[in-house]
């Protein structure tokens, strides 16, 4: 039995680990300074407890393994997003950010009652936003939007949303008026078979065009109805690209938790980016310029 398997339950089954052989894309050269804007690291209990409300149990995904993946794929920087299995215990990512010395940034999960002192410590470590999640157990829900936006604003943070944009209507007006930027994960997590004419996705495109928002073009393996090479996701990326090419960033979503095998290959996901963003100059914006602006990375590579 693996170290993680003993923590699995019927409600929170053990998911597979990432593909063990990451590699660079074959269709383009990853530019210097490129940022993987969405990834997770997973620790194991007892040092890094799993919350009882989680929806899955993940095998360990260490900081060392993540940094090795970045190197193997030609990426320079990474953004570590707090996974739902660890709830509001941000300690593993905070420790990792402090050791990385500017190479990485973090997105925290914090309770609405989080103190200013705790936010100051997270900001100093390298966090640049906090995440609200209504798709997996262990997350913070949308009822905390107003409170967390007010607390995040003094630090220049953004709010990041893991949601199915088919359910975006109840919070659309809030996104329009937020005092901080907003970021939506995985192109809105909409099943590709819904098509780009879906009302929720069209609302996302409209909000991206007209408000202070960003979208991560990522998670093809979560959206696709066809499976690899996930070509049914291309129209969604094109619609977002047409709306705001200056407000899109890319992420690997490593180590690809809570999905069924076969596990995605990072090089193949990057190759898909050649279809999502065919123009080389625009790919440079997505992989480097936009990401550096959103997360505050140095332009020195």
Choosing from 19, 36, 185, 253, the catalytic residue is: 253
Contact 79, 106 (CB under 8 A): yes
The question of whether 143 is a catalytic residue gets the answer no
What per-residue string of b and e applies to 111-127 under the rule 16 or more CB within 10 Å gives b?
eeebeeebbeebbebbb
> What whole-number distance in Å separates Cα of residue 127 and Cα of residue 110?
12
- Using alpha carbons, select from 155, 101, 73 the residue that is nearest to residue 300: 101
Q: Within 10 A of 268 (CB to CB), how many other CB atoms are there?
A: 18
Contact 140, 110 (CB under 8 A): yes
Angle between helices 199-210 and 169-177 (to 10 degrees): 0
Residues annotated catalytic, as ranges: 253
């Amino acid at each position: 039995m693996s170290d993680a398997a003993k923590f699995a339950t019927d409600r929170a089954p053990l998911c597979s680990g990432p593909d063990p052989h990451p590699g660079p894309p074959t269709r383009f050269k990853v530019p210097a300074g490129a940022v993987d804007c969405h990834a997770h690291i997973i620790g194991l209990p007892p040092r890094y407890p799993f919350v009882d409300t989680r929806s899955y149990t993940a095998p360990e995904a260490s900081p060392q393994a993540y940094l090795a993946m970045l190197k193997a794929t030609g990426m320079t920087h990474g953004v570590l997003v707090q996974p739902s299995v660890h709830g509001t215990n941000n300690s593993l990512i905070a420790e990792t950010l402090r050791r990385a010395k500017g190479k990485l940034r973090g997105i925290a999960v914090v309770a609405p009652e989080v103190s200013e002192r705790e936010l100051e410590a997270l900001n100093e470590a390298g966090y640049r936003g906090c995440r609200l999640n209504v798709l997996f157990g262990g997350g913070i829900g949308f009822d905390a939007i107003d409170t967390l936006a007010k607390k995040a604003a003094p630090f220049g943070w953004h709010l990041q949303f893991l949601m199915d944009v088919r359910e975006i209507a109840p919070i659309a007006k809030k996104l329009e008026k937020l005092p901080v930027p907003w970021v939506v994960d995985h192109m809105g997590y909409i099943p590709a078979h819904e098509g780009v004419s879906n009302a929720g996705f069209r609302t996302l495109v409209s909000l991206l065009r007209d408000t202070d928002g960003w979208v991560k073009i990522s998670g093809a393996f979560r959206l696709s109805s066809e499976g690899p090479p996930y070509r049914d996701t291309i129209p969604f990326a094109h619609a977002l690209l047409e709306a705001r090419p200056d407000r899109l960033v890319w992420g690997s979503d490593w180590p690809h938790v809570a999905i069924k095998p076969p596990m995605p290959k990072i090089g193949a996901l990057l190759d898909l980016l050649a279809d999502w963003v065919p123009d080389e100059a625009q790919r440079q914006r997505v992989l480097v310029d936009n990401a550096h602006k959103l997360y505050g990375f140095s332009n020195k590579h």
